[in-house]
């Protein structure tokens, strides 16, 4: 039986969103392992982990934290040699004056220090894998891994973390970006927050800033256990689907109500009846774009006589509604109707 103190520590570790993202990535990888890559200066690195933290030291610290919690296993997969003076792994064999390789002596490529065989540093290199026993204890708490699996069963191709470039030119990171077989037909973005306490409205605000700039077809914020009432109202105002729940089974049940199959998350044809159902301000924007075929917000503003910022807002609303597309050509952000 697992000790309560250890369960408490594991629960604390799993409230770290980087841990959730890391385990989600691991569970959806083919090998179910994190292998290092060789770096002549650093020796070895874990690039998949580094995407979530600041650099190599922080990546190893995060992995070790999961080992200490009994979630990951740490196993030797080899060893590297390094310079005893500067620590570089860029060692090469020395040569005689005739150009022949000399015995087993080495020369550091970084600092030039000559190294005899007995002075070479040897360091074990590790890979990390899920601990089968530890995984059984935490499987019901792996939010990102479970959500990725849910989306893939719905027919989505997923990236976690995923990145989208916004109208501003800034590249935004989402916890999950998902799309169907045709990436040009739009997709959805998802962020999540796991907390011991009720999550504040700041989470909805920060997600909206990204959604406003990138205009995905569907945006979902998953919160455990719950968000404040103000956060709920802001999410609704921002057209962000909100999914709340204290455990993964409840979250998945509620997520199923807001996520259709992948082939249904796509741009929609703007027919006459739909056009007539739009508010006057959006209808005039849509008609101006229809006449132009393809245009920037500034070009549409010239036609409607409204400010460029106003037309940009209306065009982005139509994008979020799935009626028009937005894309970048060089430095120009263009809008067009769906073919």
Cα(203)–Cα(193) distance, integer angstroms: 8
* Beta-carbon contacts of residue 38 (< 8 Å; ≥ 6 apart): 44, 80, 89
d(CA 336, CA 217) in angstroms, rounded, equals 15
- Looking at the chain, the whole-number percentage of residues with pLDDT higher than 70 is 91
Residue 99 in this model has a pLDDT that exceeds 60: no
Domain extents for the chain?
4-139, 142-264, 272-337
In which band, very low, low, confident or very high, does the pLDDT at 278 lie, cut at 50, 70 and 90?
confident
Are the beta carbons of 310 and 324 closer than 8 angstroms? no
Model pLDDT, residue 193: 92
Helix (H, G, I), strand (E, B) or coil at 158: strand
Beta strand segments in the chain, E: 33-34, 37-39, 43-45, 72-82, 91-95, 101-108, 114-115, 121-130, 157-159, 162-165, 171-174, 176-179, 187-194, 218-224, 241-244, 294-295, 324-329, 332-337
Q: Whose CA is closest to 296, among 322, 324, 267, 266? A: 324
CA distance 269 to 186: 13
In this prediction, residue 6 has a pLDDT band, given cuts at 50, 70 and 90, of low
The residues, any chain, with a CB within 8 Å of residue 319's CB and separated by 6 or more, are: 215, 217, 325, 326, 335
- Between 142 and 155, residue with greater pLDDT: 155
Q: Report the alpha-carbon distance of residue 211 to residue 319 in Å, rounded.
A: 11
Q: How far is residue 267's CA from residue 168's CA, in Å, rounded to a whole number?
A: 22
Quote the Cα angle for 57-193-53, to 5°. 15
pLDDT tens digits along 21-65: 899 888 888 888 999 988 766 668 898 899 888 888 899 999 999
Check residue 25 and give its pLDDT. 86
3-state helix, strand, coil in the chain (%, to 5): 40, 30, 30
Of the listed ranges 191-205, 238-252, 266-280, 308-322, the least confidently predicted one is 266-280
So what's the architecture of 272-337 in CATH?
A: Orthogonal Bundle (1.10)
Considering only residues 137 and 34, tell me which one the structure prediction assigns the higher pLDDT: 34
Q: In this model, does residue 252 exceed pLDDT 90? A: yes
Which of 105-114, 190-199, 321-330 has maximum average pLDDT? 190-199
C-alpha angle with apex 37: 32 to 42, nearest 5 degrees?
A: 135
Instruction: For residue range 69-95, list pLDDT tens digits in order.
Output: 888 999 999 888 888 888 777 788 766
For 160-174, what is the mean pLDDT?
88
Residues, the chain, total?
339
Element (H, E) at 250: helix 248-258
Topology of the domain comprising 142-264: Trna Endonuclease; Chain: A, domain 1 (3.40.1350)
Lowest-confidence pick of 39-53, 86-100, 254-268, 297-311: 86-100
Number of Cβ within 10 Å of residue 248's Cβ equals 21
Phi, psi of 273, rounded to the nearest 5 degrees = -65, -40
Mean pLDDT across the chain: 85
Confidence category of residue 2, pLDDT binned at 50, 70, 90 = very low
If one counts every other C-beta atom within 10 angstroms of the C-beta of residue 20, the result is 26
**113 pLDDT above the threshold of 90:** no
Cα first-last separation, the chain: 60
Give dist(CA 272, CA 278) in Å, integer: 10
Instruction: Identify the CA nearest to 228 among candidates 188, 195, 262, 264.
Output: 195
- Residue 288, pLDDT above cutoff 50: yes
How much is the pLDDT for 41?
66
Question: Is residue 100 over pLDDT 60?
Answer: no
Q: What is the pLDDT of residue 119?
A: 81
Coil/strand/helix, residue 231: helix
- For residue 225, give Cα distances in angstroms to 84, 145, 253, 267: 51, 17, 14, 32
- Tell me if 128 sits within 8 A of 74, measured CB to CB: yes
Q: Which of 202 and 123 is assigned the larger pLDDT?
A: 202
């Amino acid at each position: 039986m697992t000790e309560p103190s250890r369960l408490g520590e594991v629960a604390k570790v799993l409230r770290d969103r980087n841990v959730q993202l890391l385990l989600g990535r691991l569970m959806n990888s083919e090998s179910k392992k994190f292998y290092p890559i060789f770096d002549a200066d650093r020796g070895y690195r874990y690039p998949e982990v580094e995407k979530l933290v600041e650099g190599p030291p922080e990546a190893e610290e995060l992995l070790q934290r999961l080992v200490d919690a009994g979630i990951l296993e740490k196993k030797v997969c080899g060893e590297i040699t390094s310079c005893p003076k500067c620590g570089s792994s860029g060692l090469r064999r020395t040569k005689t004056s005739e150009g022949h390789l000399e015995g087993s002596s080495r020369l550091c490529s970084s600092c030039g220090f000559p190294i005899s065989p007995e002075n070479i540093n040897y360091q074990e290199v590790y890979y990390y894998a899920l601990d089968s026993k530890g995984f059984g204890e935490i499987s019901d708490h792996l939010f990102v891994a479970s959500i990725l699996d849910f989306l893939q069963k719905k027919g989505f191709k997923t990236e976690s973390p995923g990145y989208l470039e916004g109208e501003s030119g800034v590249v935004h990171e989402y916890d999950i970006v998902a799309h169907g077989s045709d990436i040009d037909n739009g997709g959805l973005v998802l962020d999540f927050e796991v907390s011991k306490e009720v999550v504040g409205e700041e989470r909805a605000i920060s997600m909206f800033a990204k959604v406003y700039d990138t205009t995905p077809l569907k945006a979902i914020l998953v919160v455990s256990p719950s968000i404040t009432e103000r956060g709920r109202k802001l999410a609704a105002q921002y057209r962000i689907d909100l999914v709340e729940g204290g455990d993964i089974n409840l979250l998945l049940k509620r997520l199923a109500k807001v996520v259709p199959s992948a082939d249904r998350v796509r741009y929609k044809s703007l027919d006459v009846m739909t056009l007539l159902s739009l508010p006057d301000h959006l209808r005039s924007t849509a008609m101006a774009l229809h006449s132009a075929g393809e245009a920037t917000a500034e070009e549409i503003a010239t036609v409607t006589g409204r400010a460029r910022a106003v037309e940009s807002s209306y065009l982005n609303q139509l994008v979020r509604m799935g009626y028009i597309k937005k894309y970048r050509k060089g430095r120009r952000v263009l809008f067009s109707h769906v073919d």
